[in-house]
Amino acid sequence: MSEPLLQVMQDDAKKVTLPPGLSEADLKTMYEGMVAIRVYDERSLKLQRSGRIGFCVTSFGEEATQVGTVAALQDIDWIFPSYRQYGVPMYRGVQLEDMASHLYGNKFDLAKGRQMPAHYTFKDKRFVSISSVIGTQIIQAVGCAMAARIKGDNCIAATYFGDGATSSNDFHSGLNFAAVYRAPVLFFLVNNQYAISLPVKKQSGNELLYKRAEGYGVPGIRVDGNDVIAVYQATKEAAERARNGEGPTLLELFTYRAGSHSSSDDPSRYRSQDEMDSWKKKDPIERMKRYMQKLGIWSEAYETEIWESFRERINQFTTAAEEQPEPSWESLFEDVYAQMPASLERQKDQLIARESGLELSNEGEFPL
């Protein structure tokens, strides 16, 4: 496709300088954030393939879309993700044991085993629970952004969704509402080129998805989603506009899903090996490494240390999570009402009694 992409890291550049506003430490933090996601994905997929967890979603090749965006946001900003943005709370400092507990749905899982794997939720990081329904997070983010503006908060909202979600009703209503009311929200369209097995060219008459923003009066920009610095800079500018009352922006992050849609998918059935091999050369982690090499801030020792460190920590926490028991039966009745009604209390007592092998009196039975 001939349409230009916003890029910073040019592979043919002989010499590079630090990007404006970013230090050497910033670049290392972003690089390490991408490595952490890659290691987590490798471990999750091995656990699933060995039958130790039932299902997982990976984001091989899309690490820069997560790290570049969240690095440019503030911790007060709300995140409404799809199921492939768990690297965002990782970057914000979520404890790895909480991530691992969710993979197993054990007693320490914050979702208490009620969500699918990869449907994380972290209230203290303003990372809203993931929904399986395509596109619902878009209108949720717009509503949150409007509420923040009405309250006078300085935070903004950001939502992530794939190319397939641009065909959903919520995409159209969300962008239109945000445009009309100038909601302080960022739309991150992560175009990994496949809605499961359906390529963009079979989804849309115009493959340049960022141009859809024009119809709503929203600024749209197409960014190289494998260039973490370009993603960072585009997000930083859009976030400042939103925070200053200038309304929403649609950022199409053009990338490639190097792995499968999920652990239940076989991508070789719908795309060629040549295509997959060509995108491996554009790997965002390798690209950042080459950039750091040119800056003189990368070394073999540094590389070995961070990969081994993340592998050791993630292996440690997933192994520990596997040994924890399932959520208690009592937890089925929690987080439903602020104050449990008597009818639900009776149901809880009845279930616990049955699981304990006890007999309930007639008064304890729930009336049908």
121 C-beta neighbours (distance < 10 Å), count: 16
Residues 104, 38 within the same domain: yes
Length in residues, the chain: 368
- pLDDT(368) > 90: no
- pLDDT(298) > 90: yes
In whole angstroms, give the CA distance from residue 308 to residue 93: 19
The active-site residue, picked from 119, 149, 212, 261, is 261
Alpha-carbon separation of residue 57 from 41, 77, 280 (angstroms): 8, 25, 19
Residues 289, 153 within the same domain: yes
Confidence of residue 352 (pLDDT cuts 50, 70, 90): confident
The active-site residue, picked from 49, 52, 114, 270, is 270
- What pLDDT shows up at residue 116? 86
What are the pLDDT digits (tens) for 242-264? 999 999 999 999 999 999 999 99
Residues pairing with 220 in the sheet: 250
- What pLDDT shows up at residue 96? 94
What are the pLDDT digits (tens) for 163-189? 999 999 999 999 999 999 999 999 999
- What pLDDT shows up at residue 363? 53
Is 270 designated active site?
yes
Record the tokens describing residue 97, joined without a space. 């044991």
Residues pairing with 222 in the sheet: 252
Residues 316, 337 within the same domain: no
Residues 182, 278 within the same domain: yes
Q: Specify the amino acid at residue 270.
A: Y
- What pLDDT shows up at residue 361? 54
Q: Is residue 14 part of a domain?
A: no
Strand, coil or helix: what is 251?
strand
Q: Is residue 1 part of a domain?
A: no
* pLDDT average, residue stretch 16-34: 96
- pLDDT(362) > 60: no
Is 261 designated active site?
yes
| Predicted TM-score (pTM) of this structure | 0.93
179-212 in b/e form (b: 16+ CB < 10 A) is: beebbbbbbbbbbbbbbeeeebeebbeebebbeb
Q: What percent of the chain has pLDDT over 70?
A: 96
CATH number of the domain bearing residue 197:
3.40.50.970
Please, are residues 88 and 127 in contact by the beta-carbon 8 Å criterion? yes
What are the pLDDT digits (tens) for 103-118? 999 999 999 999 888 8
Residues 302, 358 within the same domain: no
Q: Where are the alpha helices (DSSP H) in 244-324?
A: 273-280, 284-295, 300-322
Domain that holds residue 195: 24-322
Residues 306, 335 within the same domain: no
Residues 307, 346 within the same domain: no
Residues 245, 288 within the same domain: yes
- Tokens 């490595």, residue? 35
Confidence of residue 359 (pLDDT cuts 50, 70, 90): low
- pLDDT(228) > 60: yes
* pLDDT average, residue stretch 118-129: 95
- What pLDDT shows up at residue 360? 56
Q: For residue 148, give every residue at least 6 positions away whose Cβ sits within 8 Å of its Cβ, in sequence order, or none.
A: 78, 155, 156, 157, 184
- pLDDT(353) > 90: no
What would you report as the CA-atom Rg of the chain, rounded to the nearest whole angstrom? 22
The active-site residue, picked from 102, 119, 222, 257, is 257
Residues 83, 163 within the same domain: yes
- pLDDT(286) > 70: yes
Q: Is residue 5 part of a domain?
A: no
- Exposed/middle/buried for 44, CB within 10 Å: 0-12, 13-18, 19+? buried
- What pLDDT shows up at residue 26? 98
- Write phi, then psi, for 116 (nearest 5 degrees): -65, 155
Please, are residues 157 and 163 in contact by the beta-carbon 8 Å criterion? no
- What pLDDT shows up at residue 40? 97
Q: Is residue 163 part of a domain?
A: yes
Residues 339, 193 within the same domain: no
Residues 289, 233 within the same domain: yes
Q: What percent of the chain has pLDDT over 90?
A: 87
- pLDDT(303) > 70: yes
Total of domains in the chain: 2
Residues 354, 283 within the same domain: no
Alpha-carbon separation of residue 64 from 12, 166, 250 (angstroms): 20, 21, 17
